[in-house]
A and B are shown apart, each in its own frame.
Chain A
Amino acid sequence: MTIRTRLTLWNASMLLVALLATGALAYYELVIEPRSQAQETPATLKGDKQPAPTDLVEIGIFCSIVPAMALALAGGWWVMRRTVAPVTALTQAAEQMNEHNLGAPLGRSGSGDELDRLTEVFNAMTARLNSAFTRLREFTLHASHELKTPLTVMHGELENWLREDGLTEEKRGRVESQLDEVQRLAKIVDSLTLLTKADAGQVVLGREAVRLDELLREALADAESLGRPSGVTATLGVCDPVTIQGDRHRLRQLLLNLCDNAVKYNESGGKVTLDLRRAGPRAEVRIGNTGRGIAAEVLPKVFDPFFRGDASHSQAVEGCGLGLSIARWIVSAHGGTIQIASEPGRWTTAIVRLPVAVHPNQ
């Protein structure tokens, strides 16, 4: 039954009841009462002890007005609530919807009314969106997969060239520079594949007890060796013992990635500081560095794929621009959060918060 029919029927039935009641009252007042008053006048004159039965009917009718109105109100409220409930459900569902749960359709009432139809249309729309997202992911996956074969061939051919005798220094240099570019391309394709798979939830992460403080000490050694050529020194501040559940290799990659950035975007002779604190159910890793920092307006964009700050700076820094996107994926896959704070011209700090394992000994 459509909502229009339902509301029309409810209004019509209420109107009918009201008309019937008014009609009955009018009939009683105009036809029955005068007749009985004419008959019973002498009786009333005899004594006023008892109200006439006609008055009782009147009182009864007047007294039932209030409950009848309450009934009409309650009924109306109930009908409206039932009608609007799917709208509330739809609103909540639409609020919670993102690119990862588009595939789950909303429950339908099956009543065939306008809102049921709206839910149907909404589900069809999200299904179309979902298939568009899936197609996009599959496209990226196929594209990166298809790119790997020609890249393998190019790399192999170039390597075989390098092995050949009689190559002049100049030609060797050209081939080597080609090789560098092919490797750069291969790295981008690799990272892109990883991010696309992660987005589609296709990357399986390990879940083992990992000592975060040990990984941080290892990251310190990595930061020291990465910083040595440019005179950047790394120091470990607080390092609380913390165990978390997660994928050891990806967590190492995360810390290495952040240390790598802290060294890359530093000034020569600058500093990198590493800290690990336990704050209740969360572990907080802070990796800070001196240097030019990041302007407030570009700060929200640093996690976007291929974002590299301002153009003048990106020339000097190597990398494919996907490191922080991968870092953000690793953190969120572990149920944590990552943010970057910066004071331009002075320092930048990456703050990672990860949930601590409930049973550290397991």
Chain B
Amino acid sequence: MTLGLLRRHCFRLDFQAALVSLRFMRVLLVEDEKKTAAFVRKALQVEGFAVDVCHNGEEAWAAARTTAFDAMVLDIMLPGRDGLSLLRQLREHSIATPVLLLSARGEVNERVDGLNAGADDYLPKPFVLAELVARVRALGRRGSESKPAVLQVADLRLDTQTRRAERREVVIELTAREYRLLEFLMRSAGHICGRMAILEKVWDYSFDPGSNLVDVNVMRLREKIDADFEPKLLHTVRGLGYVIKEPS
């Protein structure tokens, strides 16, 4: 009987997770700059998100109170009520929608203030659009995402417990940094990883330290995982970043 209940419970969880991934993710975009709002909206729609746009804090507050969004992209500098105070108000009213903050000021302390106010992520302007899309996707997945111990793309396998990478049974030696880089790229397989995201996740930099560290490390990683094998998995998306994906 207990087992039956447990099984039914598990089934319901699975079913809910499936529902979340099936329906459109609904995103609220709060940005006063019309052109920025337009291209962000377009990019998010192309990715299959349903996007609502507000141009000021008051509108956004009304929208967030009446509709349940899966994620919210919030500019800090807004006419009238600014993004941070709106965010605090949302959290005070127990609206837990994951929030990605955008800011043109790009101060390190502002990032900390934003995260303290209840933001889930922060992106300074000017940003790489692909990066923003990837982060919004990650926000929507939050909670429902599972972290498999073994990552696999085509015949490349990465065991995150033994920290072993192999391709077609050939073990690939990686430095600590290369391992973190490969893990990050493989966890977001199929999606572009921007330089900023890589610097943040692999090198723990919250700002661009001004070096082509990412590029040389990706090049080295590519030599190790792609040079002796076909098909090539690690691709450069010029101007945007890098992606690991199976050839379609």
Contact = CB atoms under 8 A, between A and B. Distances in A.
Nearest to B192: A159
Contact of B36 (A152, A256, A322, A326): A152
A318 B212 contact: yes
Interface stretch (B55-63, B100-108, B157-165): B100-108
B210 A156 contact: no
B211 A257 contact: yes
B208 A229 contact: no
Contact of A319 (B104, B106, B108, B210): B210
Interface string B176-213: 01000000000000000000000000001111111111
A157 interface: yes
Interface string A251-262: 011001100100
B209 A149 contact: no
Interface string A189-205: 01101000100000110
B90 interface: no
A160 B220 contact: no
Contacts of B109: 204
A226 interface: yes
B239 A180 contact: yes
Interface string B95-132: 00000000011111100000000000000011111100
Interface in B222-246: 238-240
Given A152-B125, A160-B42, A257 B36 contact: no
B106 A190 contact: yes
Q: Max chain B CB contacts within 10 Å: which of A148, A159, A225? A: A159
A162 B208 CA distance: 24
Interface in A85-130: none
Contacts, number: 115
Given A160-B39, A180-B239, A221-B175, A249 B128 contact: no
A318 B107 CA distance: 25
Contacts of A211: none
B217 interface: yes
B155 interface: no
Given A153-B35, A162-B239, A249 B127 contact: no
If over half of A's interface residues share one DSSP class (helix, strand or loop), that class is named, otherwise mixed; here it is: helix
B36 A156 contact: yes
Interface string A168-184: 00000000100110110
B126 to A, nearest CB: 4
Contacts of A190: 106, 207-208
A157 B42 CA distance: 10
Contacts of A318: 212
A148 B210 contact: no
Contacts of B240: 159, 162, 179
B219 interface: yes
Contacts of B205: 249, 252-253
A52 B126 CA distance: 105
Q: Max chain B CB contacts within 10 Å: which of A151, A155, A260, A326? A: A155
A186 B106 CA distance: 12
B53 interface: no
Contacts of A191: 210
Contacts of B105: 145
Contact of A226 (B42, B127, B129, B212): B212
B5 interface: no
A228 interface: yes
Interface in B20-61: 33, 35-36, 39-40, 42-43, 46
A258 to B, nearest CB: 11
B129 A159 contact: yes
A288 interface: no
B49 to A, nearest CB: 14
A33 interface: no
A159 B128 contact: yes
A149 B216 contact: no
A323 B175 CA distance: 27
Nearest to B177: A221
B212 A256 contact: no
A153 B42 CA distance: 12
A253 B205 CA distance: 9
A49 B30 CA distance: 116
Contacts of A222: 211, 213
A204 B239 contact: no
Contacts of A204: 108-109
A155 B129 contact: yes
Contact of A148 (B43, B125, B220, B239): B125
Contact of B220 (A158, A176, A225, A257): A225
Contacts of B43: 156, 159-160, 163
Which 6 A-B pairs rank lowest in CB-CB distance, beginning with the nearest?
Answer: A179-B239, A156-B39, A152-B126, A151-B126, A159-B129, A253-B209
26 contacts: A148-B106, A148-B126, A152-B125, A152-B126, A153-B39, A154-B126, A155-B126, A155-B127, A159-B128, A160-B129, A162-B239, A180-B239, A183-B239, A190-B106, A203-B108, A204-B108, A222-B211, A222-B213, A225-B216, A225-B220, A226-B211, A226-B213, A228-B220, A252-B205, A320-B210, A323-B210
Given A180-B239, A190-B106, 5 more contacts: A149-B104, A153-B35, A155-B128, A156-B39, A249-B108
Interface of A: 145, 148-149, 151-160, 162-163, 176, 179-180, 182-183, 186-187, 190-191, 193, 197, 203-204, 221-222, 225-226, 228-229, 249, 252-253, 256-257, 260, 318-320, 322-323, 326
